[in-house]
Structure 1
Amino acid sequence: MTTMKKIYLLILLAGMVTLACKKEGIRVYVDENAPAPAAITKFNVTNIPGGAIITYTIPADPNLLYVKAVYNANAEVKREAKASYFGDTLVVTGFGDTLPKIVKLYTVGRNEKASAATEVTVNPLTPPVRSAQRSIDFRATFGGVVAIYKNEAMAPLTYYLMLDTTGKNTWKNITIYTSEAAAGAVTARGYDTVTQRFAVYTKDRWGNKSDTLIKELKPIFETPIDKAPFKEVSLPTDNNIGHTWSGLSLRNMTFLWNNVWNSDNDCFHTKTSVALMPAWFTFDMGFKTALSRFKFYHRSGSSGAYVGGDPKTFEIYGSNNPNPDGSWDSSWTLLGEFTSIKPTPSTTVSAEDRTFASVNGEDFDMPPGIPAVRYLRFKINSTWGGFTYFYISELSFWGARQ
């Protein structure tokens, strides 16, 4: 019998029990005096990160309804895992370390009488909360600190960045970020270029915490770039013609630097009838500028972040004397290649995703050592929805003007 057929049969049986008192001729009899089923005697353990897979042999007892595992994930959290009499496998998860753990297995009858406990020792492999913490590269960045992590298990983890506000272990949370992404970075910005004590630790959904990594770090100097001098540059081959809908004015490039975001209609939106991908646009910052980082504010609303024409992969080029024919000649220097990362791995766009993308803005660091440039050219290589037009709500930059 296939797994799906077993599931359908379980649903059917549950329905029969529900209707037993309503339809004559359908009865489920439970012998309240029947003894508890026999205990599990044969089992096998396969240890996994933060847990274990326990397979077992089902006792031949017609009174058996399900098997359950009872265990302490940590000092505060007691957990249970259950499997019907059709199954032979239980997965126990939520352990925060690799110490041996006792899991108690019970068989339970239709009258809810439980067997004697069978104790099983599991030895969890390194849990994601610890492996992710060990992967962290914690260092100074422009205007603050960054924790670059890997989470190969793609487990839901929360990263806490902290600051010692007095230098005497008076810790304050300065960034709290939850993600299931396989890799990413957590930043805290807005700090003076003086050496301070920063820290980072990781926590999972069961309350397990990693060790805390503490470092003395000196944020790198930067300043917000004034966007008042920004202006559009229209070069041949550029895709910079604004789209309109619902009687709005053209959503042209100037929306990128009007300091308004998290508003569905306030965005630079290229014409839907122009099918170009990759596509690029150019603007003048007004002064030669050495860029340190930028924030990319995704369009908000149901047609915004991580869908449709929202840019996913893109490149930024810089120039001080672009060729007026719009060609990609030697006057343009590649400043960086970037990929937008969605915090949660599912195809559904969550409220957390939208806050990260459209409210807070997605942070990108520019590679160190890039030249100071006056003109920027964004080349969109792909969009989240595979669309051949794109939209961006706002762009903000940091660095130093020359």
Structure 2
Amino acid sequence: MQQRIHLLFLIVAFTILGCERDALKDPLDAGDGAPARVTNVKVENVPGGAVISYDVPDDSRLLYVKAVYDIREGVTQEIKSSYYNKTLKVEGFPDTKEYAVKLYSVSRGEQVSEPVETVIHPLEPPIKNTFRSLKMEETFGGVRLTFDNPVSANLVMTVIAEDSVGQMKEALTYYTKSIGGSFAVRGFDPVKRRFGVYIRDRWNNRSDTLFGEYTPWLEKLLDRTKIKALNLITDQNAQHCCGVGLSDLWDGVFNGGNVFHTKPGTGLPQWFSFDLGVKAKISRFKFYHRRSTGQGASDGAYNGGDPKVFELWGSDQPVNDGTWDSWFKIGDFTSLKPSGLPLGTVTEEDFNYAVVNGEEFDFPPDAPPVRYLRWKTNRVWGALDHIYMAELTFWGDY
């Protein structure tokens, strides 16, 4: 009998506790009632969406206003805005047609008012605007794409290419938020094939596909064994440590211990010059950043003397006095840190991009063939007055 009473007590206790927990799951003000609706709704149409303004009700129960809308059939979006604000932005619409948006006032207890419906007519969405600007042309080893993205939308461009059996396969996925730019997809033989490109946004809206037939230009990896230092008078190429000198930049060891490391105190900007061994129209190059010597060390990629802003110059017959009179500027280049994190923090993505795979840069398509190159470092990632680099490789036609 005593055991039954004890069991009954436990059942009652757990039931009460369960009810209390269920009660805690509900909003504290669940019974506060729906607040009044918003009024004086106005619409400003923008690319791919609209900015909706309104007057909030003088209702102490109001916590936020939400908009509910369909960007396409079966895909509903919801956006919330605090009662402190009097606007919200609806986005993700794939067309310029008429769309209905419902606005709700919501209480602290999640009680929802009757909707206020308004109609928007989005301006041309970024995927369509950018798609219309797309241009595709032949380049070394593949095709080059150029685009405009005036509103800096987050876009994904997917390049597809015909394989050996005529099937279209994904060749490259390119992410951008830039207002415009260009990129290339490479690795193809100089044989005519069909290429295509389409654009997606973060709401998975997709553009049409731009197709074309192109014959990639022949591209070869330049023979590193033919590259030699020039040792001109004003060059800063005396080795400080960690290798034998400038030749470490083309020794074929991308992630080893040897690096080209100039002496502290040599100052910025500084430069060095070298002979490619052949006259070539260069298509691109890779810069392999230095691997850090230890955990927490400040001598690796995106730190210390790792080049960040630099120039490349070319010459056919450089003079020995080290001046710039016999050189012409090929281009300005800036190293990119994928994570965007501050100095001292290097993610795995950063490390793979800079050290393992090498950071790749394109030569300007109109750059003339050249045999001699001069690298000029203007800024480093850290605060040092010298530089270090692991490897350089070049591609082109000669």
**Structure 2 length-normalised TM:** 0.80
Asked if structure 1 preserves the Cα contact closer than 8 Å seen for 2:48 and 2:122, the reply is: yes
Query: What is residue 240 of structure 1 aligned with on the other side?
Result: 237
Structure 2 counterparts to residues 2-401 of structure 1, below 5 A: 30=29, 32=31, 34-75=32-73, 77-165=75-163, 170-244=167-241, 249-250=242-243, 252-261=245-254, 263=255, 267-277=259-269, 279-299=270-290, 309-330=305-326, 332-334=327-329, 336-340=330-334, 342=336, 348=342, 355-358=352-355, 359=357, 361-368=359-366, 370-373=368-371, 375-384=372-381, 388-401=385-398
Q: Is the partner of 1:328 in helix, strand or coil? A: coil
**Distance of aligned partners of 1:124 and 1:252 in 2 relative to their CA distance in 1, 3 Å threshold:** farther
Give the whole-Å Cα distance in 1 for the aligned partners of 2:157 and 2:348.
18
1:266 to partner: Cα distance: 5.3
**Distance of aligned partners of 1:153 and 1:369 in 2 relative to their CA distance in 1, 3 Å threshold:** closer
Give the whole-Å Cα distance in 1 for the aligned partners of 2:359 and 2:104.
50
1:281 to partner: Cα distance: 0.4
| Paired residue type of 2:287 | F
**Distance of aligned partners of 1:37 and 1:290 in 2 relative to their CA distance in 1, 3 Å threshold:** closer
Give the whole-Å Cα distance in 2 for the aligned partners of 1:147 and 1:304.
33
**Distance of aligned partners of 1:368 and 1:66 in 2 relative to their CA distance in 1, 3 Å threshold:** closer
Give the whole-Å Cα distance in 2 for the aligned partners of 1:343 and 1:206.
26
Give the whole-Å Cα distance in 1 for the aligned partners of 2:124 and 2:352.
31
**Distance of aligned partners of 1:229 and 1:195 in 2 relative to their CA distance in 1, 3 Å threshold:** same
Q: Please say which of residues 195-204 and 375-384 is displaced more in the overlay.
A: 375-384
Q: Is the partner of 1:228 in helix, strand or coil? A: helix
Give the whole-Å Cα distance in 2 for the aligned partners of 1:286 and 1:130.
47
| Paired residue type of 1:258 | D
In the alignment, structure 2 segments of 5+ residues that lack a partner are 1-19, 21-26, 293-297
Give the whole-Å Cα distance in 2 for the aligned partners of 1:74 and 1:251.
62
Give the whole-Å Cα distance in 1 for the aligned partners of 2:101 and 2:332.
46
| Paired residue type of 1:283 | F
Q: Deviations over 1:137-182 (max 9, x none)?
A: 21110111111223333332222111022675x2201111223233
Q: Is the partner of 1:395 in helix, strand or coil? A: strand
Q: Who wins on radius of gyration, i.e. which is larger?
A: 2
**Distance of aligned partners of 1:192 and 1:327 in 2 relative to their CA distance in 1, 3 Å threshold:** same
| Paired residue type of 1:100 | E
**Distance of aligned partners of 1:363 and 1:328 in 2 relative to their CA distance in 1, 3 Å threshold:** closer
1:268 to partner: Cα distance: 2.8
Asked if structure 1 preserves the Cα contact closer than 8 Å seen for 2:306 and 2:380, the reply is: yes
Q: Deviations over 1:327-382 (max 9, x none)?
A: 2233x344x11323638695657665554444253231244361442x22112334
Query: What is residue 5 of structure 1 aligned with on the other side?
Result: none
Give the whole-Å Cα distance in 1 for the aligned partners of 2:182 and 2:299.
26
Q: Please say which of residues 34-43 and 198-207 is displaced more in the overlay.
A: 34-43
Aligned structure 1 segments of 4 or more residues deviating by more than 6 angstroms:
none
Give the whole-Å Cα distance in 2 for the aligned partners of 1:130 and 1:299.
41
| Paired residue type of 1:377 | R
Percent same amino acid among aligned pairs?
41
| Paired residue type of 1:65 | L
1:106 to partner: Cα distance: 0.5
Give the whole-Å Cα distance in 1 for the aligned partners of 2:47 and 2:258.
45
Q: Deviations over 1:204-254 (max 9, x none)?
A: 22211122111111111221111012222211111113343xxxx247322
Q: Please say which of residues 45-54 and 122-131 is displaced more in the overlay.
A: 122-131
Give the whole-Å Cα distance in 1 for the aligned partners of 2:108 and 2:367.
70
Asked if structure 2 preserves the Cα contact closer than 8 Å seen for 1:167 and 1:196, the reply is: no
Q: Is the partner of 2:218 in helix, strand or coil? A: coil
Asked if structure 2 preserves the Cα contact closer than 8 Å seen for 1:167 and 1:197, the reply is: no
